[in-house]
Amino acid sequence: MASTAENDRLPASDENSSPNIAASEPNDQKKESIGDAVTVFHDPENFNVKHPLMHHWTLWFTKPPSGKDINWNDLLKEVVTFSSVEEFWGIYNNITPTSELGLKADYHLFKKGVRPEWEDQQNKHGGKWSYSFRDKRAVSIDDLWLHAQLAAIGETLENDDDNEVMGVVVNVRKGLYRIGLWTRTVGRSIEGRTAAKGKEVLENIGRRFKEVLRLKDPEVVEFSGHTDSARSSAKAKPKYTV
């Protein structure tokens, strides 16, 4: 595990895992209702059965730059990889909340094996949905970032065969927090999928993301391709909106 600690709470250690689920006392009725599945109720004393996630996920951190000429890639640090619900909560409960990070810091939660960079082989044809929360004091950024992470690891942002979601990101900037969702494609036609279907898949993901961020209808979530972001920073015209 790489050390990126900005303070003692980052990164987390596995011993601190404190599952928040199924925390109530076990009883026979519960044992019956869960049938043969191996769950925490089978070992209530040690409480050590883990609930696997569909994918392994890696948390990354972008350190705020200390000087002007620091390369973006040098600031990006891998923190920890996990693959169960319990490990997620253990990490979540022991890292610095977004609201306490310095300006220019980011958290990135990506599928294991994907670097949270445009250049990664699995990102280079992709893009991101994103929304900027401009009233920093009014927004519960820690809750929203938690919801975004739970939606990603719980696989509720896309349908089973979409294979689009790469990860989620939160940026702390002067005057705004931004939460993004990176996708593998920009909705073009790929094998077995027309361009129209690709666009529909991406827009459905965008709509689910908008719900996760608790945004109202008039608030607009924008999608841009990474090549446009790389070329023209934040000024690129969005490709889709929901």
Q: Which residues bind ligand MGP (CB under 6 A)?
A: 72, 117-119, 171, 173, 233-234
The SS3 assignment for 153 reads helix
User: Which lies closer to ligand MGP via its Cβ, residue 89 or residue 131?
Assistant: 131
- Sequence-distant (6+) residues with CB within 8 A of 23 are none
User: Which lies closer to ligand MGP via its Cβ, residue 123 or residue 149?
Assistant: 123
* Buried-state track 75-87, b at ≥16 Cβ within 10 A, e below 16: bbbbbbbbbbbbb
CB of 210 to ligand MGP, least distance (A): 20
CB of 127 to ligand MGP, least distance (A): 12
Largest CA distance in the chain: 62
Report how far Cα 10 is from the mean position of its chain's Cα atoms: 17
Mode of pairing for the β-strands spanning 127-133 and 222-225: antiparallel
CB of 233 to ligand MGP, least distance (A): 4
Report which of 174, 152, 148 is spatially closest to residue 164, judged by C-alpha positions: 152
User: Which lies closer to ligand MGP via its Cβ, residue 84 or residue 229?
Assistant: 229
Question: What is the rounded distance in angstroms from the CA atom of residue 77 to the CA atom of residue 218?
Answer: 36
User: Which lies closer to ligand MGP via its Cβ, residue 117 or residue 155?
Assistant: 117
Question: What is the rounded distance in angstroms from the CA atom of residue 79 to the CA atom of residue 39?
Answer: 28
CB of 235 to ligand MGP, least distance (A): 8
User: Which lies closer to ligand MGP via its Cβ, residue 144 or residue 169?
Assistant: 169
Question: What is the rounded distance in angstroms from the CA atom of residue 86 to the CA atom of residue 22?
Answer: 11
CB of 104 to ligand MGP, least distance (A): 7
CB of 32 to ligand MGP, least distance (A): 50
Task: Examine residue 11 and say whether the peptide bond preceding it is cis (omega within 30 degrees of 0).
Answer: yes
User: Which lies closer to ligand MGP via its Cβ, residue 17 or residue 171?
Assistant: 171
